[in-house]
């Protein structure tokens, strides 16, 4: 598992090709990959005018990932209560 994460990160970095790629990741539900893609693009040219789209996509991906994780946590808590 420790070797898989860096390989996936490298693969993601290589395949990232722009705002459209990040938007596709976001609409397909890959919020964590969309976040990584947006952050890596913002790191390279943070002063570029076209990077404002990455900021919006990053915010949206973060909030959707947070909502998904909180829903998962609530389901796990409910399951734990039912089992006791």
Instruction: Write 19-22 long-range contacts (CB < 8 A, 24+).
Output: 19/50, 19/53, 19/54, 19/57, 22/54, 22/57, 22/61
CA-to-CA distance for 69 and 71, rounded, in angstroms?
5
Number of structural domains (the chain) is 1
Note the pLDDT of residue 47: 74
Domain holding 61, by residue range, is: 18-83
Residues (pLDDT < 50) of the chain are 11-12, 14-16
Question: Is residue 6 in some structural domain?
Answer: no
Distance CA 62, CA 72 (A): 15
Report percent pLDDT > 90 for the chain.
55
Whether residue 29 is contained in a domain is answered as yes
The pLDDT value recorded for residue 23 is 94
Is residue 3 a part of any domain in this protein?
no
Residue 44's pLDDT is what? 81
């Amino acid at each position: 598992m420790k070797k898989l994460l860096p390989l996936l990160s490298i693969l993601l970095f290589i395949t990232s090709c722009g705002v459209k790629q990040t938007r596709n990741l976001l609409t397909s539900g890959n919020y964590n990959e969309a976040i990584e893609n947006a952050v890596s693009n913002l790191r390279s040219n943070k002063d570029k005018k076209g990077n404002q789209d990455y900021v919006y996509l990053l915010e949206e991906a973060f909030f959707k990932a947070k909502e998904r994780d909180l829903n998962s946590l609530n389901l796990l808590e409910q399951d734990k209560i039912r089992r006791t």
